[in-house]
Amino acid sequence: MRVFLGEGFVEDKMVNWTARINASEGTPFQKKVWGAMARIPRGKVSTYGLVARAIGKPKAMRAVGYACNQNPFAPDIPCHRIVSSDGTLGGYAQGPAKKRALLKREGILVQEGRVKEFESILYTF
């Protein structure tokens, strides 16, 4: 099944976020980031750089981080599943403990600041 921009998952259910994202206050760039993030399934993680690549702006990983920080749909649009390129946790608006808790609830463990089995659960779009 092909997954389109704007579609994603809440829990395990596929949801189309397009209308809500478009109606939000975000800038065009932020809306693209949120739409891409929404596709990351439960149990997987991705990275700031991969999201940047997925929206056609491969060098905008820092700006992606900023857009994550502004995500008004968290945690349904799962910005907590975005981690750093080396598998370390990266930041979170509500603090690293919250990010770890959300991931743990999805079966993703963070040990010594690094996502367990990072390479094998990486979502690359």
Partner DNA sequence: CTATTGACGACAT
Partner DNA sequence: CATGTCGCCAATA
Q: Could you list the residues that contact DNA (CB under 7 A)? A: 27-30, 47-49, 57, 59-71, 74, 79-80, 82, 84-86, 90-93
- If the CB atoms of residues 16 and 88 are measured against DNA, the closer one turns out to be 88
> Shortest gap between Cβ of 1 and DNA (angstroms)?
27
> Shortest gap between Cβ of 2 and DNA (angstroms)?
26
Per the residue annotation, which of 55, 79, 82, 103 is the catalytic one? 79
In angstroms, rounded to a whole number, what is the distance separating the alpha carbons of residues 77 and 89?
A: 17
| Residue 75: cis peptide before it, omega within 30 degrees of 0 | yes
- If the CB atoms of residues 93 and 109 are measured against DNA, the closer one turns out to be 93
- If the CB atoms of residues 1 and 111 are measured against DNA, the closer one turns out to be 111
Residue 89's identity, in one-letter code, is L
Task: Output the CA angle 85-121-72, nearest 5 degrees.
Answer: 70
> Shortest gap between Cβ of 109 and DNA (angstroms)?
17
Q: Is 68 a catalytic residue?
A: no
Number of helical H runs and strand E runs in the chain: 5, 6
Contact 87, 81 (CB under 8 A): no
Catalytic positions are 79
